[in-house]
Chains A and B, each alone.
Chain A
């Protein structure tokens, strides 16, 4: 069973790294986690982004954060991607599977997944 000793080992490993990381992230992935988002399935979407970004080794460049309701509850789970010098991308009605595709195609490949954006859904 995992113990506090394991946590102390993490601390030893992390303590030098922390300083370097601050301020270096350029891209923000923001997941709506208000009642509307949570009820629509935002929890697995958030987990998919956090796991994916860290497992792909992108955590120095990309931060995944949570926010409240942004007022488009009918499109939840909603995720906004903010990149330096680019227009904001709003993804709607996401699932964990769609999140994985966004990580690969957009966050790694640099190409917006147009079919999941709010523009593709609004008529």
Chain B
């Protein structure tokens, strides 16, 4: 993966496949350039055994091929900068879901650029317009945020997946990056 935003797109799709109705993607960078990426969902969750196996490239739930590279690639990207990846998950009936936390030193020479994260977010919404997404990209200088639940309140029964709506989301996010950076 050339950009972290591609890892985000890839990993967040696991959350939609887990049946999550809410997926949160949070990027928080502190003054020292330390980036904490959190991807949290309320999907079906994983039991202890599955959770231990998901970072193994030869483990995958899919049947079309025998390897699952998504998490190993993300782990590689963060560990290359001296960061780490951890996951917690719950299958409890009243509190299920998975939280992934990946940390990066964004000043490290091996830090992959974040790239076009707006494009990734818009593709996630377009692919699953019935789910809700929360996105936050926060640094000491600026904050970019989106919560599709707020958009849904405005849109009524018009789908988030309509082209015009997706174009609006794109412009809304790019606008926040431009004015505050």
Residues of A within 8 A of B (CB): 1-2, 4, 6-8, 10-11, 13-15, 18, 33-36, 38-39, 43, 46-47, 50, 54, 59, 65-66, 68-71, 73
B33 at interface by CB-CB < 8 Å: no
In the bound complex, what is the Cα–Cα distance between A43 and B127 (angstroms)?
A: 12
Interface 0/1 of B123-166, CB less than 8 Å to A: 10011000000000000000000000011001111110011111
Contacts A2-B171, A69-B65 known; A7 to B155 CB distance under 8 Å?
A: yes
A39–B1 CB distance below 8 A: yes
Which residues from A are CB-within-8-Å of B1?
38-39
B175–A38 CB distance below 8 A: no
Which residues from B are CB-within-8-Å of A35?
10, 68-70, 73
- Closest Cβ of chain A to B143, distance in Å, is 14
A18–B9 CB distance below 8 A: no
B64–A39 CB distance below 8 A: no
B64–A70 CB distance below 8 A: yes
- Closest Cβ of chain B to A67, distance in Å, is 9
B172 at interface by CB-CB < 8 Å: yes
Which residues from A are CB-within-8-Å of B164?
10, 13-14
For B178, the closest partner residue in chain A by CB is A1
- Closest Cβ of chain A to B40, distance in Å, is 20
